[in-house]
A and B are shown apart, each in its own frame.
Chain A
Amino acid sequence: MASSPTPWLNPALVVGGLSPLLLLAVQGPRGELGPNAIEAALHQTGLLALVLLLASLACTPLRLVAGWTWPARVRRTLGLLAFTYAVAHFLVYAVLDQGLAWSALWADVTERPFITVGFAALVLLVPLALTSTNRWVRRLGFPRWQRLHRLAYVAAALGVVHFVWRVKKDATEPLVYGAVLSLLLAIRVGEALRKRRARAAAAARNPA
């Protein structure tokens, strides 16, 4: 890490990535988020959580397709930023919107699929955030860590469904995110199949 050719990259991502959240925290109390500030904050944190999660999932496909190495260095930062926004989104909903009315929260999470899938996405991100350190990669061993972190795709898919179910009629925007996610997943699946075939071919050439 110390000899990174781009020492500025991750700090810049953190500062730039957190600035919309800071802006919300400043504008909200000053009444600059429009007539329904809580709704505005809710929508923006939710949207940015999904955007950043997709950005983190785009890192490996970008390396595979374009051959760039820098995306691998920002993947963890993007994932943690996405988690930060997902937590902020949940807190805006639970604390500001619902006023921590536990029975209402419980009814929402258990009875309304729209909320259930959003909550499930957040829950899935928790173990990923906790195991995002190098220490955890070593402790789990890379293959197992990698398998665990594929849950990010499940969380993103749930996030897209949550978004589709939120809009009353025009699902264009959430479906664009759904299309991006499908594309990223297709690249990964294609790569996995290619590798498997290559392994099979190698095994055929060198029978044990």
Chain B
Amino acid sequence: MRDPPPAEPPSSEVTPEKTYLRRRELLKNAGLFAGTAAAVAGGLHLLGRKRTRPVERFGPDADPAVLPVVKGGGPYDTDEPPTPYEDVTTYNNFYEFGFDKDDPARFAHTLKPRPWSVVIDGEVHQPRTVDVEQLTSWFPLEDRVYRMRCVEAWSMVIPWLGFPLAALLQRVEPTSHARYVAFTTLLDPEQMPGQRRALLDWPYTEGLRLDEALHPLTLLATGLYGRPLPNQNGAPLRLVVPWKYGFKSIKSIVRITLTREEPVTTWRRAAPREYGFFANVNPAVPHPRWSQASERRIGDFERRPTLPFNGYAEQVAHLYTGMDLRRFY
């Protein structure tokens, strides 16, 4: 027995050639459309190249070492809610590791904060070179919750751990000629790859007038949120001067020199019209490119007015009586 031949579909069901070709054309165009749209979207995304998340996630649990805090709740603490740890440690300006805000968190792992020696010299009776571990063991660590105002008009609230710079200065005994304190960051392009490009005059340097350096608000910080400083925040030792713009608070310090003359500071040398030696937070003196009258607290939607001396006027304004703060910005 032979099977009957398979029945051909009636000719009415056969797709007309024209429709068949149009469908192919349509499919082809749909494919080209999708491919082009995806390529354009991807290309623009790459060019916009804004990483929305840092590569590594950080959290207070990342480093189990807890620093022993001796004193907390000092008279200068702000009771404003602290900026989340993740934001404090992933949104940084630290050009030694790159220019984007999340570059330091991504690339600062090359920094080796221990062992680390700090030179203290210049106009002091007791110059010395000391390992940072020993240096920090000399002083009780204090918890200080400070506002931090960046010159770029954003701000944070950061619980620092550290000790007053004044304690260290008193220990090395400034001479009667000492009028300024100069600070220097590590110079090592191996550890700080950003230094391979001469965009700033490396190493980063900063300075304070001696009375500013001796002010009890001025802190040498070794930690934040109860933990040792993450590299991107300036491990192992950094300055914190809460009434000045953030760039004054120099990170990863290797040298502290007391001087007779006003030290040359990095940003002032790079752009003297935009960044002065004093750099006190001042809503009345705009940056040439933007207003300093208000700021965005990281995590907030609305801007808030910027306060003179970042809200520390009561403590520090007397340091500048008689000075024209428009001239000495």
Contact = CB atoms under 8 A, between A and B. Distances in A.
Contact of A48 (B48, B99, B101, B298): B48
A12 B101 contact: no
A31 B90 CA distance: 14
Interface residues of B, number: 50
A127 interface: no
Contacts of B37: 11-13, 15-16, 19
A12 B30 CA distance: 10
Interface stretch (A104-112, A131-139, A150-158, A190-198): A104-112
Contacts of B34: 12
Interface string A3-14: 000111101110
B36 A36 contact: no
A181 interface: no
Contacts of B36: 8-9, 12-13, 16
Interface string B24-39: 0000011011111111
A51 interface: yes
Nearest to B95: A169
Given A8-B29, A8-B30, A104-B293, A35 B91 contact: yes
Contacts of A169: 95, 99, 199-200, 270
Contacts of B40: 12-13, 15-17, 19
Interface in B32-71: 32-42, 44-45, 47-48, 50-54
Contact of B44 (A12, A48, A168): A48
A34 B91 contact: yes
Tell me which of A16, A99, A165, A166 has the highest count of chain B C-beta atoms within 10 A of its own C-beta: A16
Contact of A36 (B29, B86, B91, B270): B91
Interface in B279-326: 286, 288-291, 293-294, 296, 298-299, 301-303
Interface in A1-44: 6-9, 11-13, 15-17, 19-20, 23, 27, 32-36, 38-40, 43-44
Contacts of B90: 34-35
A51 to B, nearest CB: 5
Interface residues of A, number: 46
Interface string A161-205: 000011111100000000000000000000000000000000000
Nearest to B89: A35
B44 A51 contact: yes
B102 interface: yes
A47 interface: yes
B174 to A, nearest CB: 33
A114 B291 CA distance: 12
A69 interface: no
Nearest to B25: A7
Given A11-B33, A98-B303, A107-B291, A35 B298 contact: yes
Interface of A: 6-9, 11-13, 15-17, 19-20, 23, 27, 32-36, 38-40, 43-44, 47-48, 51-52, 96-99, 101, 104, 107-108, 111-112, 114-115, 165-170
24 contacts: A8-B29, A8-B32, A9-B32, A9-B36, A15-B33, A16-B37, A16-B44, A17-B40, A32-B53, A34-B51, A34-B54, A34-B101, A38-B296, A40-B52, A44-B48, A51-B47, A52-B44, A98-B303, A104-B291, A104-B293, A169-B95, A169-B200, A170-B197, A170-B199
